[in-house]
Structure 1
């Protein structure tokens, strides 16, 4: 299925959660001179216009980044990415995770991103001219390149969960990824749903990876009847200090009404 386009949800509270934590982790990795690999399995288009009709239709950005910018100091790496995006593309532009990676990493780091949707893939190629961009199934792409060179690095798995079987198959993929790349930081983003569709997946992941960091935040639904009421990150080999950063962010989310 190829109907999902993130422009309807770009800049929402789940993005604030995911992207602020991702930016912090990438900044952490670049504190050492050694090069890193960044891999993303479901890249989207990397750059979003929050004034587009699709974004305005859902209003999720208005309930998201537009509402909570003051959570982060101006020197936070996430804020620096937002500012750089605004300077280059206008005040209504928002960086997806591949763009945050480009803005945070260095010339000697290696970025590899997959996106299967044809229109999203074309936009991704235009947005990331220095990255290795694949029009491919992201899960299969990751299997084909792990372990990467350089070995130090991070992989973000950020599917739309449009394919409901993903909840059942993701633990198996991640178990193989972690075996192939035992030093890599492997990050799964998942929605917290009123249906509980994510619950069995999390049980399987925690059984396979008992030392991983599971970090979840809750927030009001973006609109009446919307089934997503939170955002989760499951992080294998979490970098030092991430648990504290995540706890501080959760405090902010807990204050939302």
Structure 2
């Protein structure tokens, strides 16, 4: 069984980069009104407690999202506003100095869901999948407890005219590198208008 749990790494510098790119891409794609099918191939949990024992064991959020949050007053570019809005919305007034919670990829996607959009998340880890299913309370969000790479291929093409897929496995299994490349090639053949 896979042992990777993102709670040890939530909010690290890679999350900041990944989720900032995701927020910017979703915002840009939503400049058109037509619906978007969002997919998250390795969803994990939807929300992470940055004060939890797991998060504090590595302290990776301190040099990632906490550093970004401390500098938020200097982030004047409009590109940062969706990111800061998601973080503030999840943390509320408690986020004056430090963030207490960090949104996983499903929560970022959920923030951008509109009426004609949908989200399909894939999670193979039983505990993470259960947490994700408990969190997903919208009919526009579907949790599929299976391998995300093959699951994504089975969902293509979507009913919406546009597609945004986040592919971010843990690379705990070394074959993930080749599997991701092969899957993206197949996905592009099935849905050439997708953004992967």
Say yes or no: TM over 0.5: yes
Structure 1 position 102 matched with structure 2 position 107: no
Range that drifts further, 136-145 or 65-74: 65-74
Q: Where in structure 2 are there 5+ consecutive unaligned residues?
A: none
Determine if the alignment matches structure 1 residue 141 to structure 2 residue 141.
no
Report what 2:85 is aligned to. 80
User: How many equivalent pairs are there?
Assistant: 186
1:23-102 equivalent positions in 2, closer than 5 A? 23-69=23-69, 70=71, 72-73=75-76, 76-87=81-92, 91-102=99-110
The alpha-carbon deviation at position 87 of structure 1 amounts to: 2.3
Map Cα deviations across residues 166-202 of structure 1 (whole Å, 9 max, x no partner).
Answer: 112221111000110100101xxxxxxxxxxxxxxxx
- The Cα of 1:108 is off from its aligned counterpart by 2.0
Larger mean Cα displacement after TM superposition, 29-38 or 3-12? 29-38
Q: Partner residue of 1:163?
A: 173
- After the TM superposition, which residues 1-257 of structure 1 pair with which residues of structure 2 at under 5 Å, given as runs? 1-69=1-69, 70=71, 72-73=75-76, 76-87=81-92, 91-130=99-138, 131-186=141-196
The 3-state SS of whatever aligns with 2:166 is strand
Please tell me whether the aligned partners of residues 74 and 80 of structure 1 are also in contact (alpha carbons under 8 angstroms).
no
Relative to total residues, which structure has the larger strand share, 1 or 2? Answer: 1
Show the counterpart of 1:198. Answer: none
Quick check: 1:30–1:105 contact (8 Å CA) kept in 2?
no
Instruction: Provide, for residues 61-82 of structure 1, a one-character-per-residue CA deviation record: whole Å limited to 9, x for no partner.
Output: 0111111222634961011100
| Cα 1:53/1:4, change in 2 over 3 Å | same
Q: What is the aligned-residue RMSD (CA, Å)?
A: 1.7
Distance 1:184 1:109 in 2: 14
Structure 1 unmatched runs, 5+: 187-257
- Higher-RCO chain (CA-CA 8 Å, sequence separation at least 6): 2
Q: Secondary structure at the match of 1:32?
A: coil
Query: 1: distance between equivalents of 2:101 and 2:7?
Result: 11
The whole-number CA distance in structure 1 between the counterparts of 2:7 and 2:120 is 21
* Correspondence for 1:203: none
